[in-house]
Amino acid sequence: MTRVLTPDICILGAGSGGLSVAAAAAAFGVEVVLVERDRMGGDCLNAGCVPSKALLAAARQAQARRSGVGFGVGETEPLVDFAAVGAHVRSVIAAIAPHDSVERFEALGVTVLKAEARFGGPDRVMAGDCEIRARRFVVATGSRPLVPPIPGLDAVPYLTNETLFDLTECPAHLLVLGGGPIGMEMAQAHRRLGAQVTVVEAHKALGRDDPELAAFVLDQLRAEGVEILEGSRVEAVEQADEGVALLVAGPGGSHRRVEGSHLLVAAGRAPVLTGLGLDAAGIGYGPRGITVDGGLRTTNRRVYAIGDVIGGLQFTHAAGYHAGLVVRSILFRLPAKENRDLVPWVTYTAPELAQVGLSEAEARRRFGDRVRVLAVDYAASDRARADRATIGRLKLIAGQRGRLLGAGIAGALAGEMANLLSLALAQKLDMKALAGFVAPYPTYGELVRRAALSYYAGMPANTWVRRTIRFLRLFG
């Protein structure tokens, strides 16, 4: 027998975006059905943000043992118990999991179905023994690791972010295919935990970021012993005596064979579309994901799509942002339009690499000579000097009348400083506002104020300013 459910909202996928929509709608007393075929919490909790940051934290502790000489603390090579590191990662996941659990969401009033979901038509979804006829649907099925069609790859064992955290022994030599954020984070983490690491990137490592700022990160990784092969394409993969080998075509027509014990494929993400029955629902899609308009509606007006499944900004916080827009539209009938310029991103290497709003290159393409770049090095921060964390730079991108267009940061706690700048961008603040806030001393946030103040660096030499000051002195 098929059960027919008629909720107000049906959500496909219990990752960050789907859970956010479900929790918000349920809080307002709206009837919600949430369908998830795998684990609650999605990729972020189980195989993405949470385990990767837990692993990076362990790696940071190991590196601290090697870096004490400048502080007068004896330097020592850490003894890494990789199985215990894995236990730490799993314990962090377990501590967060109840917040994303079936039990919690059922307690909120959400009907949770653990089943495969597919559209049976433009107005219904089939899940297990249920037919769901909702007023609105939200597709939030996320993404999965993209595995490129390289000859021989399917014949060797390889890791993705979905299997990497199951390792109980540190790889002797980890080969990383892809020099994006995931690849570079995991390269540094495993190097610090004792592995030899080689990264192979077909183009430029961290190529999405400001190259001037990315250079700080890449130089540090190389200094720690990570080999980074840029402009190098993997032509084939084959089995090797000790694991796996990559046949690499490098710059200038060079060729080399790179052998390692393990291979991590970190070549990007692909939206999860298979089996959803999108054609039956009249939902348009392509290789990059589901097609949506500015309000995140699909070509079927009853259906919204959010998060990784629409391509573009594949971040947990982007999915959360999308969820807020969709709730605004479905529940309150208010206009909602995605603005991707407002979504920051951070690569959690050491130093960290953060971007808010437009990069320098993007701003110059849009606004030309009206852009001013205000840069300050971390060495100008007293806190950075005290922490011996002077590697890095902060850049503010200012437009007409000093309005903040974007910011890029390479350095310690870049992700935390991005919070302030993300708020400033969303509120359309200018250099006057950023130069006028009071930052506690000594903090890294002072770098933001220092950079903003440099916008007015020419004012003391301005003739009219000097004349005004002389005139005002006549009044005592």
178 carries a ligand binding annotation: yes
Is 185 annotated as a binding-site member?
Answer: yes
Question: DSSP per residue over 47-63, as a string?
Answer: HSHHHHHHHHHHHHHHH
Say whether pLDDT at 80 is over 90: yes
Task: State the pLDDT at residue 472.
Answer: 79
Q: How many beta carbons lie within 10 A of that of residue 151, not counting itself?
A: 12
**Residue at 343: amino acid letter:** V
| pLDDT greater than 80 at residue 476 | no
What is the pTM assigned to this prediction? Answer: 0.95
Domains 3-145+270-341 and 153-267 share a fold: yes
Position 116 scores a pLDDT of 97
3-state secondary structure 175-241: EEECCCHHHHHHHHHHHHCCCEEEEECCCCCCCCCCHHHHHHHHHHHHHCCCEEECCCEEEEEEEEC
Rounded CA-CA distance 94/92 in Å is: 5
Does 411 appear as a known binding residue? no
338 is in an annotated binding site: no
CATH of domain 351-455: 3.30.390.30
Single out the residue of 341, 172, 386 nearest to residue 261, CA to CA.
Answer: 172
381 appears as a binding residue in the annotation = no
Ramachandran region, residue 423 (left: φ > 0; alpha: ψ -120 to 50; beta: rest)? alpha
What CATH fold (topology level) applies to the domain 3-145+270-341? FAD/NAD(P)-binding domain (3.50.50)
What value does the mean pLDDT take over residues 354-359?
98
Residue-wise pLDDT tens digits, 109-162 = 999 999 999 999 999 999 999 999 999 999 999 999 999 999 999 999 999 999
**CATH says 153-267 is which class?**
alpha beta
Query: 228-232, 286-290, 437-441, 463-467: lowest mean pLDDT where?
Result: 463-467
Residues 6+ apart with CB under 8 A from 17: 138, 140, 142, 306, 307, 319, 320, 322, 323
CA separation for the pair 250, 232 (Å, rounded): 4
116 and 127 in contact (C-beta within 8 Å)? Answer: yes
Residue 179 annotated as binding?
yes
Pairing state of beta strands 173-177 and 196-200? parallel
Predicted pLDDT of residue 223: 98
For residue 462, what pLDDT is reported? 76
Q: CA 81 to CA 61: how far, in whole Å?
A: 12
Is 183 annotated in a binding site? The answer is yes
Query: What 3-state DSSP class applies to 294?
Result: coil
Annotated binding residue at 308?
A: yes
Which residue in the block uniquely carries the two structure tokens 């459910």? Answer: 5
Q: What is the DSSP letter of 430?
A: B
pLDDT at residue 383 tops 90 = yes
Residue 209 main-chain phi, psi, to 5 deg: -95, 165
Written as six digits, the tokens of 454 are 């440099």
What is the β-pairing status of strands 372-377 and 393-398? antiparallel
**329 is an annotated ligand-binding site residue:** no
The pLDDT tens digits for 283-298 are 999 999 999 999 999 9
Q: In what order do the strands lie in the sheet with 303-305?
A: 111-114, 32-36, 9-12, 136-139, 303-305
Structural domain boundaries in the chain: 3-145+270-341, 153-267, 351-455
- Rounded to the nearest integer, the mean pLDDT of the chain is 96
| 184 appears as a binding residue in the annotation | yes
Quick one: pLDDT at residue 375? 98
181 is in an annotated binding site: yes
Q: What is the mean pLDDT of residues 338-351?
A: 96
The answer to whether 359 touches 408, Cβ cutoff 8 Å, is yes
Helix axis angle for 446-453 and 414-426, nearest 10°, is 50
